[in-house]
Structure 1
Amino acid sequence: MSASPSPHDLDPRLLRAFTAVAEELHFTRAAARLYVAQQALSRDIRRLERELGTELFVRTTRQVSLTPDGARLLPYARRVLTAHDALREAFRAEPRPLLVDLNSPDLAQEQVLRRARELAPDQELMIRYESGLTGAAQSILAGRIDVSFGRYGGLDARLRAQLDSQFVRYEPMAVVLPEDHPLAHLPAVPLARLAGEQIYAGAGNERTPEWTDLAARLFAGRGIEIAPPAPLAVGHEEFRRIMAKHRHPVLAVIDFPAMPDCVIRPLIDPVPLSPVSLVWRKGLRHPGVDALRRAATEIGTRSGWLTRPPGTWLPEGEPGLPTPGALTGPARSG
């Protein structure tokens, strides 16, 4: 670096503050991620800069960016924090409960969780319910949950850089239609029949941009539009009310639960697939994560989840998918 570091040991809290700002490039978002006041975060950054004898950020009224020394520090800070967290976990009296997020109505996730509990009966795997993998990933990095499921390849690259993943399955996609929709009588809906429709795919929901992006890629060139943002419906009655008001079909997966006054129909010609992965924080060591990974591999192999059916659709260049013919394992970040 441009100046000699202080001889004193660096407080991991200061490195955690630095890493959050470096990844968010925004003090307000970084403070929210760490659950601290922005003023306290700024004080920690100034203290770290004093101890290292160098500026780490260029701050203007419009943006925050890393200095060359800040960019140089970041990979070291990440490694130190990973080792610090691993050390803390290694000397716990007993492994803490693992908080497992089931962020979508996916029966496969529940199967994996049940089997993991059988494989590790002494571990406590506690269910949480987030909404969308982007929102869940932010909760993982903030320490509110440990593991989630979803489209790893649809996450922002900055999030993927802080996470590990294991592919779980290719999940066929579907559409939820009002029961009186002209296509509701079909046993399966060809994508071409949706031309001219506006399909709701979570537009405007900051927790699910990976799902909206998947829809945009699927609809491109097919004459299908993404419906404008609508209030997030929680519960059957709210879903019924919003569907009755807006009348937009909803992009879903085949395991989507039955909703009142609606039907769910698989999409075909081609069958679009939503890639689902198990996702956790880089460096996390916990017997529950090991059990979840074993369960996902075991069930996926037995059920054919890891093999892409011929003639199906996937987004091009999707990160985190298994190499054909290879066993599934941790995906590379970025």
Structure 2
Amino acid sequence: MDLEAVRTFVAVAEAGQFQKAAADLSITQQAVSKRIASLERTLGGRLFTRTARGAELTIDGQAFLPHAGELLRVAERAVAAVRPGRRPLRVDVIASRVAASGLMRGFHRAYPEIELDVVMLFDIETAVAAIRSGAIDASFRAVAVPGRPLPEDIESIRVLDEPLQLLTGPAHTLAGARSVTIAALAGHRIWMPGVVPGSEWAAYYDDLATEFGLTIEATGPNFGSDALLDTIADTPALATFMGEHTRLVWPAGHGLRRIPVTEPVPVYPHSLLWHRDNPHPALATLRAHLAATTAGHHAAGTWEPSWVIPR
């Protein structure tokens, strides 16, 4: 259906005259008549009756008018949904309780007038494909996993180096430590059932384990963070790694301990990815905000995988 003809129909209905509708639309009266005639052929019925006072809606015209208005409103929403600056900024944060989600909450507090759509995509291939297709505007990732370089049209900037902490139950031998060196973790069982082979975090923890001789186990099904916390609380022989900015809540009776890891401090490198041709104005605002509010990178006494892009 020709939306210009529908818009012209609504204008005539509101004006009550073809001539006034033509003036309102800045077209000729002949163009108005042609559009209405075309719409009537499409619908198979007359929409107006000409009178001495102008044009009056027929019964069919009265029935069509509310639907015509809705068609125009839907069209406006459709255009707004894809027009940069008039639709929400869509950002992938991977999961709701991790550091990237916190960064976006901080951005929302600083710029509450910017509309946001926050999504959670699991793997980097899905995120990159969504960026390239325009389904999302940006994604937080650790880049670049060995053997999987970013496409040339994807830009990235390092936004946060997140220190790892050791999470233990109250009966673990390290539970009373104020901090623990990474060398002291050799021989301890570190259980991380959420580490999925082929993921960015799997590549990270594989390199960490190899570098420092750690035992990181990803055995058993992943029943989620609550089950992980229950097991760590009840099993003196197990501990797990957690990002400093990961937000988890557990029952007070669990007695869990978050212990800083040092010498060196292993940091998980978060970067923001986006398409180099993305014109959304809020994307530049987000990048500037992250640059101004996040800590520096490559700090002395920290460790990161060699494959992380130093940007």
**2:228 match:** 239
Are the structure 2 counterparts of residues 245 and 144 from structure 1 closer, same or farther at C-alpha, using a change threshold of 3 Å? farther
Are the structure 2 counterparts of residues 221 and 264 from structure 1 closer, same or farther at C-alpha, using a change threshold of 3 Å? same
**2:39 match:** none
**1:226 match:** 216
Amino acid in structure 1 at the alignment position of 2:228:
F
Are the structure 2 counterparts of residues 124 and 248 from structure 1 closer, same or farther at C-alpha, using a change threshold of 3 Å? same
Tell me, what secondary structure is at the counterpart of 1:272? Answer: strand
Contact 1:132 1:150 in 2 (8 A): no
Contact 2:93 2:100 in 1 (8 A): no
* Counterpart selection for 1:190 from 172, 181, 205: 181
| 2:148 is the alignment partner of 1:152 | no
**2:266 match:** 272
- In 2, the alpha carbon distance for the partners of 1:228 and 1:107 equals 21
Determine which structure has more spread, i.e. the larger CA radius of gyration: 2
**1:256 match:** 246
| 2:281 is the alignment partner of 1:287 | yes
- In 1, the alpha carbon distance for the partners of 2:82 and 2:249 equals 47
Tell me, what secondary structure is at the counterpart of 1:152? Answer: coil
Contact 1:98 1:124 in 2 (8 A): yes
Query: What CA RMSD, in Å, does the superposition of the two structures yield over aligned residues?
Result: 3.4
Q: Offset at 1:219?
A: 2.0
* Counterpart selection for 2:159 from 161, 168, 171: 168
Are the structure 2 counterparts of residues 254 and 176 from structure 1 closer, same or farther at C-alpha, using a change threshold of 3 Å? same
Q: Offset at 1:247?
A: 5.8
- In 2, the alpha carbon distance for the partners of 1:184 and 1:136 equals 37
- In 1, the alpha carbon distance for the partners of 2:146 and 2:210 equals 19
Tell me, what secondary structure is at the counterpart of 2:212? Answer: coil
**1:129 match:** 120
Contact 1:147 1:280 in 2 (8 A): yes
**1:99 match:** 90
Q: Offset at 1:293?
A: 0.5
Are the structure 2 counterparts of residues 127 and 268 from structure 1 closer, same or farther at C-alpha, using a change threshold of 3 Å? same
Q: Offset at 1:280?
A: 2.2
- 1:74-96 Cα distance to aligned partner (Å, 9 max, x none): xxxxxxxxxxxxxx999838632
Are the structure 2 counterparts of residues 128 and 108 from structure 1 closer, same or farther at C-alpha, using a change threshold of 3 Å? closer
Contact 1:205 1:229 in 2 (8 A): no
Tell me, what secondary structure is at the counterpart of 2:202? Answer: helix
TM-score normalized by structure 2? 0.61
- In 1, the alpha carbon distance for the partners of 2:219 and 2:132 equals 27
- In 1, the alpha carbon distance for the partners of 2:110 and 2:180 equals 38
Q: Offset at 1:259?
A: 4.6
Q: Offset at 1:182?
A: 0.8
Give ranges in structure 2 of 5+ residues lacking alignment.
1-78
| 2:210 is the alignment partner of 1:216 | no
Are the structure 2 counterparts of residues 190 and 245 from structure 1 closer, same or farther at C-alpha, using a change threshold of 3 Å? closer
* Counterpart selection for 2:106 from 108, 111, 114: 114
**2:191 match:** 200
Amino acid in structure 2 at the alignment position of 1:114:
G
Contact 2:89 2:115 in 1 (8 A): yes
The aligned runs of 1:9-24 (5 Å cut-off) are none
Contact 2:142 2:308 in 1 (8 A): no
- In 1, the alpha carbon distance for the partners of 2:213 and 2:291 equals 38
| 2:168 is the alignment partner of 1:177 | yes
Are the structure 2 counterparts of residues 114 and 194 from structure 1 closer, same or farther at C-alpha, using a change threshold of 3 Å? closer
Contact 2:140 2:273 in 1 (8 A): yes
Give ranges in structure 1 of 5+ residues lacking alignment.
1-87, 323-334
Tell me, what secondary structure is at the counterpart of 2:144? Answer: helix
Amino acid in structure 1 at the alignment position of 2:288:
R
Number of positions where the alignment pairs a residue of Structure 1 with one of Structure 2: 227
Q: Offset at 1:254?
A: 1.1
